[in-house]
Structure 1
Amino acid sequence: MRWSTALTLGRVANLPSVWTNTLVGVMLAGGDPTAMEFVLLATALSALYLGGMFLNDACDARWDLLHRPERPIPSGQVSAQEVWRTGLALLTLGPVLLWLGRPGDPSAAIAALGLSGVILAYDLTHKQFRHSAWLMGSCRLMVYLVAALFVGGITPAVLWAGTAMLCYIASLTYVAQTEHLNQVHRYWPLLLFAAPVVLVLTRIDQAPMAIPVALLLCFWLFRQLRTLLPGPHRQVASSVGALLAAIPLVDATLLAAHGHVMAGALALLAFLTTLQLQRRFAAT
């Protein structure tokens, strides 16, 4: 498999969002890992993300043949069998790395095995089960939980932030289900995009530094949601990409709201990096 093909299959433009999810899980759990421990954790969770993306293409090969023939499998760049093997290997690698990093405490590795199962369930069912959006949202919640378990334990702050991210991703996934038609069939899920903002508002008096980041997030969401409404300006695919790019921005807002200003700045940098990567690699 060529590197360019692997990068396309892995949708690497969105990979920084996995790293910022990891950062939120670590910081809100009160963890203080070494640089090497954080790199190991981020690598393991990146492997799970990439495995899920590979298997998404493997499961969607027939659908892509009709609707997205430029994707690597229908265009003949790689076989479905090779993509299956690579995807499953990556889903296995993630938990193994976490177990090696914490052999005395397998809780993070066990949670990562559960995350692998949810990823696989989503990939296998998302074209038949319209509410699979909640499975996708659960994947991002579990990234927070795995990261927290790796550095010590799950705190209420991690659970609240993870739930807000679950709602955001579920909303985004509902929208993405019909991006190939440039349509939005359900508008009620759009309300879920507000979940991170609502959570931040409950803490704004304790962390005023979160205000400018929260305003930036609100501006970005409003700008993208406008392009989802009916009319000649509707650009669902473009909006989906921009909302995916905003995952690190959501993380930056959550971090700032909990007083982690420097970590929030790193997440903002990841947001800008994702926007640049999406110019070269497809976001979806």
Structure 2
Amino acid sequence: MGSLATGRIGPWRTALLLGRVSNLPTVWSNVIAASALAGGGALLSTAVTALAISLMYVGGMYLNDAFDREIDARERPERPIPSGSIAPELVFAVGAALLVIGIVLLAFEREEAGLAGLALGAAIILYNWHHKGNPVAPFVMGLCRALVYVAAGLVVFPDVQFDVLVPAAALLAYVAGLTFTARLENVDRVTSLWPLSLLAAPVIVAAVAGAFSPLSLLIYVMLAAVGWRVATLLRRRAAGDVSQAVALLIAAISLVDALFATTTGVHYAAIACLLCFGLTLVLQRFVPAT
């Protein structure tokens, strides 16, 4: 790690921070849940899909910092680009390359998945290009996660399935609510509570789908605990509380995936998603989630 006195950080730490790699397990759980919802895919194919989406996620995070470099220079000068740890041109190049590689990997798995990857790449670029001050940007971010479900589902089955689309739409709503909350991170206060209602969409969809097994009931309890903790943080509004709430909501994406996986009866997929939740919480202790 570089000297804190100069404000620079080492190259590996820079790469980890730019990619927000602590959140990658939530991408893996997205792929696991979507694959289960689509009927279940081969282990190798699921792993390749998870790798492809992971590359696209990291690429999107790189592009986010590259596009936001001037705003970060004012609001978050410790970020890698404004701190001088890496050149923005290199961040743009790496981010774009990772998106392309991810799309190509999806296309090798199945042509239809590659087309979904192109749509995902376009949504990632659109969000990063114009999200500051854009009232619909949180829904574009939600669309990115929904398209992960679509792409992973298409790797398993060549047609978009209703059983994948409905959970994907619920995940879109959840991530939009999360993103609305994340927008308040720099001001460290909550000015409107209505976006938080979007977070309930996955629970409603899962309940309608009849997710009431012992495992799903455990996940409901875990989601309730997350909701209680987030509400406590947002109500207290001490310094850093909004950031902690956002990080926990990001980790809970894997809980949402686990809940959806229980609706398929494939409990090992749900358990894998639960492990992703725990891993995300551990990794966030070392690499900030936002």
Aligning the two structures, in what range does the TM-score lie when normalised by the shorter sequence? over 0.9
Residue type at the aligned position of 2:16: L
Q: Percent identity?
A: 40
Write the mapping of 1:111-260 to structure 2, written as runs, cut at 5 A: 111-152=116-157, 153-204=159-210, 207-229=213-235, 235-260=241-266
SS in structure 1 opposite 2:234?
Answer: coil
Partner of 2:32: 23
Q: Distance in 1 between matches of 2:181 and 2:31?
A: 25
Displacement after TM superposition at 1:235 (Å): 1.3
SS in structure 1 opposite 2:33?
Answer: helix
Kindly indicate whether the alpha-carbon contact (under 8 Å) linking 1:167 and 1:193 is maintained by their aligned counterparts in 2. yes
CA change 1:125–1:261 in 2 (3 A) is same
The alignment's C-alpha RMSD in Å is 1.6
Q: Distance in 1 between matches of 2:146 and 2:118?
A: 14
Partner of 2:4: none
SS in structure 2 opposite 1:182?
Answer: coil
Displacement after TM superposition at 1:25 (Å): 1.1
Displacement after TM superposition at 1:123 (Å): 0.3
Displacement after TM superposition at 1:234 (Å): 8.0
Partner of 2:3: none
Kindly indicate whether the alpha-carbon contact (under 8 Å) linking 1:99 and 1:109 is maintained by their aligned counterparts in 2. yes
Kindly indicate whether the alpha-carbon contact (under 8 Å) linking 2:23 and 2:250 is maintained by their aligned counterparts in 1. yes
Q: Distance in 1 between matches of 2:141 and 2:31?
A: 16
Pick the aligned partner of 1:13 from 13, 18, 22.
22
1:98-150 Cα offsets, whole Å, 9 max, x none, are 22233xxx111011011100000000111131320000000000000000011
CA change 1:230–1:209 in 2 (3 A) is closer
**Structure 2: 5+ residue stretches without partners:** 1-9
1:28-60 Cα offsets, whole Å, 9 max, x none, are 000332x22112111111111011000000011
Q: Distance in 1 between matches of 2:207 and 2:109?
A: 36
Displacement after TM superposition at 1:231 (Å): 5.3
Residue type at the aligned position of 1:134: F
Aligned residue pairs, count: 280
Pick the aligned partner of 1:96 from 104, 117, 129.
104
Partner of 2:65: 57
Pick the aligned partner of 2:56 from 40, 48, 59.
48
Q: Distance in 1 between matches of 2:149 and 2:90?
A: 30
**Structure 1: 5+ residue stretches without partners:** none
Q: Distance in 1 between matches of 2:211 and 2:62?
A: 43
Kindly indicate whether the alpha-carbon contact (under 8 Å) linking 2:211 and 2:259 is maintained by their aligned counterparts in 1. no
CA change 1:111–1:205 in 2 (3 A) is closer
Pick the aligned partner of 1:273 from 276, 279, 289.
279
CA change 1:66–1:272 in 2 (3 A) is same
Displacement after TM superposition at 1:156 (Å): 1.4
Partner of 1:66: 74
1:110 aligns with 2:118: no
1:71-97 Cα offsets, whole Å, 9 max, x none, are 000001100000000001111111111
Displacement after TM superposition at 1:187 (Å): 1.3
Residue type at the aligned position of 1:42: A
Q: Distance in 2 between matches of 1:223 and 1:128?
A: 28
Stretch moving more, 219-228 or 47-56: 219-228
SS in structure 2 opposite 1:75?
Answer: coil
Displacement after TM superposition at 1:272 (Å): 0.5
1:130-173 Cα offsets, whole Å, 9 max, x none, are 32000000000000000001111322121111111111100000
Kindly indicate whether the alpha-carbon contact (under 8 Å) linking 1:224 and 1:239 is maintained by their aligned counterparts in 2. yes
Q: Distance in 2 between matches of 1:217 and 1:206?
A: 14
Q: Distance in 1 between matches of 2:71 and 2:41?
A: 44
Displacement after TM superposition at 1:24 (Å): 1.2
Q: Distance in 2 between matches of 1:56 and 1:233?
A: 24
SS in structure 1 opposite 2:136?
Answer: helix
TM-score, length basis structure 2: 0.92
Displacement after TM superposition at 1:202 (Å): 1.4
Q: Distance in 2 between matches of 1:177 and 1:231?
A: 15
